[in-house]
Amino acid sequence: MSAGLGRILQARAAYRTTTALRPSTRASTGRVLPTTATTTTRVGIPQGTSPQTQARYISGTTTDAKSAAAATSSAVLNSTSTPSIRELFDSPPVSSSRSRLASSVSPEGLFLYPNLKTPETFLDSVNAAIARGHLLVERIAHAPEQQDGGQEMRKVIKLFDRLSDVLCKVIDAAEVVRCLHPDPAWRQAAETVYEELFSWMNTLNTDPRLYEVLHKVLNTPVIESGLSEAERQVALVFLRDFEKSGIHLSDAKRAQFVALSDKVVSLGRDFMQNCSTPGPGPAHILVSPPSRLQGLSPGYIQRITKTNKQGEKVAVVPTSGWESQMVLKHVEDEGVRRAMYVASMAEDKAKVAVLDDLLRTRYDLAQLVGLPSYGHMFLGDKMVKNPENVSAFLHTLGKSQEAAVESELMLLQKAKRVATKDKDAQLEAWDRDFYVRLVSSRNNTMPHGDSISAYFSVGTTMDGLSKLFSHLYGIKFVPGTVQPGETWHDEVQKLDVVDEREGLIGTIYCDFYGRQGKQLNAAHYTVRCSRRVDDDDEEHDIAEGMTLREGIELAKADPGVKMAGKEGRYQLPLAVLSCGFSRPPGGKPALLSWVEVETLFHEMGHAMHSMIGRADYHNVSGTRCPIDFVEIPSILMEHFLADPAVLGLFATHHQTGAPLPAGLLMAHQANRSTFQAIELHSQRSMAMLDQLLYSPIVGSPSFSSTATLENLQRATGIVPPVPGTAWQTGFGHLYGYGAGYYSYLFGRTVTSQIWETVFRSAPTSRSAGERLREHVLKWGGGKDPWECLGGLLEDDRLMKGDQESMKIVGDWGTKTPL
């Protein structure tokens, strides 16, 4: 009997085990999710998130009838007192949906999960999840022994999916809590929950009994032939995870794999913390005289100016945060910009050591399972298949942009030579942002009047998203009633997602404003995935002769709801969107910059994928699909935002209600399109660096991430490297998106083709929206992504997912504007 199982069973008659499944304790992970993160977890390493904004700088809970799905009543959906979407988000901090509740009502748990009422009960949820997990593991392991004509073997894939679901409900909720909850006690509990479950999940990935049963299911013709497409995809997901985790290795090497995996998480935690902490450079630069800061507002310069001991006026400028970005973008004095760049990007050898250790440990993992690099290990089950295809894609993209990059670079070079009156002046790293802004402002004059932000309050933008989804899919947002204790902060708003044919299909919690202790980068979190629950067969998890020890609690499945047009009952998806918007004082609506609106559209693309991709199985629902496919629905949203017909649905002045002037939109888009080739070049360079840092070169004794970056900059950069700096230690996606950063450019290439083929002529067409829904969104990860893409674009060549398919996508990048 396993040591873990022995803790929950009083006696047992039918089962035996050969491997101990004991949770191990590790250092807390503390992983900070990068921008626009889509946090989805299966029994294996959690996925990371989207790289969109970096280029421009996870409840085994024991849910019961009080589940989030069952808690939402039709009375709420049809209440005449429910505020509009715009009112909900443009009103003062505490939502009207929450204010209608009596304060005497006893608090519920976070997300209406009973085990999330306190940090202590959150910790209890781990025991409940692992207890259920042990039962499911033993049931799977002994399925071949059952004399039932193969019935239990036919349930194995479902059992695997249930195992993943029960663990992910806890670990996914923990991810939200540790990133967003204001209470340190809650965050610490979430760290403990995350680390205990993650380590136990790694031991499951190296349990040969589970692999052997799954392998037998897939190689038993009478069973395999009866599998649905989704069941086959679920089985392949687990099979690949086993194989990537070295299931074929000896016991000693499997133990080594678990140890290395735990080390990766620990180093990843440290690396992500380093990304958000100042380096060894000075906390401030001193500028004297303060007039050298010309380009910044006089009021700001005055506020940071001090008098030194010699009676001289000196400006004390912070080298971290928005101040450093403002200096690099606006200050005319090149010496000041140089000093700021060197100070803010200064190499921290301790941070470099952590990153290099992380890269080498992932390389060691790949070597352990017989692969040449971590890139090969990571990309094997992605659309691109291998690093060689990624390199070919990035090379093709780069060749197609060479002339445009050179032309834009000459504009910047000329601007510097004119400004400095030096015909030989060369563009440097601290010059790029300044001259991009300068040339853009000269070439694109904005009309007088309000800025474009006046037409994009948070409420207006959310109302526009609801209207767009109503046009495309017949889906709208309805403000939901927030129960006491359901959210982690008073500013969190709840949206019920309602389909005109199916009714309530999911819930989205919106945490949009920055605050102390909150991770400010934009992120999408999948807290609960859709899956069918009425066929769980939970009553047979405890075999005949088994008796649970007194006090042992088992995680229970969500009771689910009936879905129109679907057989059985389903748990509904639950997602969280987080942003770091600034809330103005006095209850005024927050007005968003174009980049913030773009970010919100991007994250909502992920959220709607979670809502629409409602599968029978947890592991293939919503955003649980390959990293280079999961970005497609979200990047496509950026195309919708740029279309005048879509903006006409909602973009109105927050005070007057006047529509967004066409001239202002055209001027803004012209300004945004300036230096687009250089922006694309920067994204491509970061993708190339990501590939290099997860390539076989990491195995060299002389490997250095700093030297690798410098060599790449010399070979392909638009400015030379700056000695003494180490930008890569702040590139957070090297952990969460390690070897996968290319996926944003891949997604941009694919979505541009989708836009031109499906949406360009009728961007708000229901038929176009249903085409995307039927071929892509509804499948989640339950269908091969190349088949989804080929079906959507009506191109059979794409469905093979081979080298020809990759070449077709590469060719798109040379012909379609990204």
What's the rounded Cα separation, in Å, for the pair 798 and 790? 5
The 10 Å Cβ neighbour count of residue 404 is 15
Pairing of strands 547-548, 313-318: unpaired
- Cβ atoms of 750 and 589 within 8 Å: the answer is no
Question: What is the rounded distance in angstroms from the CA atom of residue 315 to the CA atom of residue 785?
Answer: 55
Tokens of 354: 């952590």
Number of H helices, E strands in the chain: 32, 14
Calpha distance 156→165 (Å, rounded): 14
The crossing angle, in degrees rounded to 10, of helices 208-218 and 119-141 is: 50
Pairing verdict, β 503-513 and 493-499: antiparallel
Active-site pick, 603, 638, 679, 710: 603
Beta bridge partners of 625: none
494-to-96, 173, 530, 575, 721 alpha-carbon distances in Å: 11, 16, 18, 10, 47
**Calpha distance 469→467 (Å, rounded):** 6
Burial annotation 532-565 (CB, 10 A radius, 16+ → b, else e): bbeebeeeebbbeebeeeeeebbbbbbbbbebee
Q: How far apart, in Å, do the first and last CA atoms of the chain sit? A: 57
**What span, in angstroms and rounded, lies between the C-alpha atoms of 743 and 383?**
10
Q: Quick one: CA dihedral 286, 287, 289, 293, positive or negative?
A: negative
Q: Quick check: 318 and 324 in contact, CB under 8 A?
A: yes
Neighbours of 458 (CB within 10 A): 27
Per-residue tokens: 247 = 């299931």
Residue 603 annotated in active site: yes
b/e map of 172-196 (b: 16 or more CB within 10 Å)? bbbbbbbbbbeeeebbbbbbbbbbb
Residue tagged 């080929």 (tokens) = 790
Structure-token pair, residue 23: 């949770």
Residue 710: φ, ψ to 5°: -60, -40
Whether residue 519 contacts residue 177, with contact meaning beta carbons closer than 8 Å, is answered with no
Of 211, 207, 110, 126, nearest in space to 166 by CA: 126
Residue type, 649: L
CA 792 – CA 775 distance, rounded (Å): 5
| CB-count exposure of residue 297 (10 Å: 0-12, 13-18, 19+) | exposed
DSSP track, 578-635: EEEEPPPSTTPPPBPPHHHHHHHHHHHHHHHHHHH---SSGGGSTT-S-HHHHHHHHH
Cα-based distances in Å from 435 to 237, 337, 417: 48, 12, 11
CA atoms within 13 A of residue 513's CA, in its CB half-sphere: 22
Cα atoms in the Cβ-side hemisphere of radius 13 Å centred on 781: 31
The number of angstroms, rounded, from the C-alpha of 683 to the middle of its chain's C-alpha atoms is 17
* Residues tagged active-site: 603
